[in-house]
Amino acid sequence: QVQLVESGGGLVQAGGSLRLSCAASGRTFSDYAMGWFRQAPGKEREFVAAISRSGRTYYADSVKGRFTISRDNAKRTVYLQMNSLKPEDTAVYCCAASFVTYTDYAGGKREEYDYWGQGTQVTVSS
């Protein structure tokens, strides 16, 4: 089992920045690829970013160049730095863990992830 707890959400004006954190406990953190997903009201949960065990990163086109995912295996934490925020980034952001053997891979589909956090609300005002 892996437990995930997100923090860092809040209310920010358009153009501002937030840094989300996701702390993991349980099994060996470095065995997992990590991802961030978000869900806006009335919409499907969508992929935002992912990072492989080796640190390779993947991004949705909508956030590329604005968001940065990173991980600190010693702290068992994954981060999402969000810059140049837009009102359409408003959503509940959840982190997720995927047990993988291939160290360079991190998936972009919800069904590839085994464990999920409860989420943290991000609201961007115009």
Instruction: Give the model confidence (pLDDT) of 10-64 as tens digits.
Output: 999 999 999 999 999 988 999 999 999 999 999 999 999 999 999 999 999 999 9
pLDDT of residue 101: 87
pLDDT of residue 102: 85
pLDDT of residue 104: 87
DSSP code string of the chain: -EEEEEE--EEEETT--EEEEEEEEES-GGGEEEEEEEE-TTS--EEEEEE-TT--EEE-TTTTTTEEEEEETTTTEEEEEE-S--GGG-EEEEEEEEE-SSTT----SGGG--EE---EEEEEE-
- Report the Cα–Cα distance between both ends of the chain, in Å, rounded: 40
pLDDT of residue 55: 96
Is the pLDDT at 85 greater than 90? The verdict is yes
Instruction: Give the model confidence (pLDDT) of 92-119 as tens digits.
Output: 999 999 998 888 899 999 999 999 999 9
Of residues 37, 23, 29, the one with CA closest to residue 78: 23
